[in-house]
């Protein structure tokens, strides 16, 4: 039985939200980025967050959003964690924590060992770090591209803060990713979709089962 935490990200329907919660997801991610196929309106997000409240941690995923936008999400959705998935500086992460009174997860894009250096700056202010693959040059979205990287880069990494492995995970490879990286938390989005932006309840259940057996 694995004790690895799981975040199912980019949920947008009640059916798939319920599937994720019933399968035992520890965190659920709601996407607030209009260019993403997983973007949800504030009213939909509020309804989905109410389903999850008390059953899983609610993560609001934003990309270089201004403080007004973040405050609006806080007011209407009341997430437990803001995931900052853009080019936000460490100072911005600290400001979000103080002003929104939530935990902060900072996404860091990596493809080689040197990319981990910047993670140390964020580790001083963020509650969580999320390591995702660098997006393709032509991508309009910074995450959820279904790209994997060398998971062994994270082996024995100690930042003094918990970190999450993201990027290219699916039911068939998540156990291997956990083994190679030593991570205690994983994040999946495109790997549990039947088509771009459309989550599949069966794939969510399969992913959760694969993690539990890892």
C-alpha span between 194 and 190 (Å, rounded): 8
* Residues contacting residue 46 through CB under 8 Å, at least 6 positions apart: 76, 77
CA distances 129 to 5, 55, 121, 201, 204, Å, are 13, 22, 11, 27, 23
Of the pLDDT bands very low, low, confident and very high (cuts 50, 70, 90), residue 119 is very high
Indicate whether 99 pLDDT > 80: yes
Indicate whether 145 pLDDT > 60: no
Q: Which of 9, 93, 170, 187 is catalytic?
A: 9
Tokens of 32: 């607030």
**Angle, vertex CA 84, rays to CA 204 and CA 186, nearest 5:** 30
Higher pLDDT, 45 or 135: 45
Which pLDDT does position 111 carry in this prediction?
87
CA distances 78 to 97, 110, 156, 206, Å, are 13, 30, 34, 29
Alpha-carbon Rg of the chain, whole angstroms? 16
Indicate whether 147 pLDDT > 90: no
Indicate whether 143 pLDDT > 70: no
**How much is the average pLDDT of 92-105?**
97
Residue entry with tokens 């959003």: 65
Higher pLDDT, 1 or 20: 20
pLDDT digits (tens, 9 = 90+) for 152-198: 999 999 999 999 999 899 999 999 999 999 999 999 999 999 999 99
Q: Which of 26, 66, 132, 200 is catalytic?
A: 132
**How much is the average pLDDT of 40-68?**
97
Indicate whether 139 pLDDT > 80: no
Which pLDDT does position 36 carry in this prediction?
93
Indicate whether 146 pLDDT > 90: no
Query: What is the share, in percent, of the chain residues with pLDDT greater than 70?
Result: 93
Active site residue 9: yes
Active site residue 93: no
Higher pLDDT, 133 or 92: 92
Question: By the 8 A CB rule, do 125 and 93 touch?
Answer: yes
Compute the mean pLDDT over every residue in the chain, rounded to the nearest whole number. 93
Residue 102 DSSP one-character state: S
Instruction: Name all domains of the chain by residue range, CATH numbers in brackets.
Output: 5-213 (3.20.20.70)
Question: By the 8 A CB rule, do 96 and 102 touch?
Answer: yes
Which pLDDT does position 52 carry in this prediction?
98
Higher pLDDT, 5 or 148: 5
C-alpha span between 12 and 100 (Å, rounded): 23
Indicate whether 56 pLDDT > 70: yes
Which pLDDT does position 149 carry in this prediction?
83
**How much is the average pLDDT of 24-29?**
98
């Amino acid at each position: 039985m694995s004790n690895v935490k799981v975040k199912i990200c980019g949920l947008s329907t009640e059916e798939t939200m319920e599937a994720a919660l019933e399968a035992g997801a520890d965190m659920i991610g709601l996407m607030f980025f209009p260019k993403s196929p997983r973007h949800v309106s504030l009213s939909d997000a509020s309804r989905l967050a109410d389903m999850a409240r008390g059953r899983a941690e609610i993560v609001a995923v934003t990309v270089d959003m201004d403080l007004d936008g973040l405050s609006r999400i806080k007011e209407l959705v009341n997430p437990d964690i803001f995931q900052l998935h853009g080019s936000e500086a460490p100072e911005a992460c600290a400001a979000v924590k103080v002003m929104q009174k939530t935990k902060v997860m900072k996404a860091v894009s990596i493809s080689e060992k040197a990319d981990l250096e910047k993670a140390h700056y964020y580790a001083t202010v963020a509650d969580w770090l999320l390591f995702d693959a660098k997006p393709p040059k032509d991508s309009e979205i910074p995450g959820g591209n279904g790209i994997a990287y060398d998971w062994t880069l994270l082996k024995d990494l100690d930042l003094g803060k918990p970190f999450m492995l993201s990027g290219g995970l699916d039911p068939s490879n998540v156990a291997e990713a956990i083994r190679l990286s030593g991570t205690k938390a994983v994040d999946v989005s495109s790997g549990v979709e039947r088509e771009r932006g459309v989550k599949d309840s069966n794939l969510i259940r399969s992913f959760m089962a694969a993690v539990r057996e890892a």
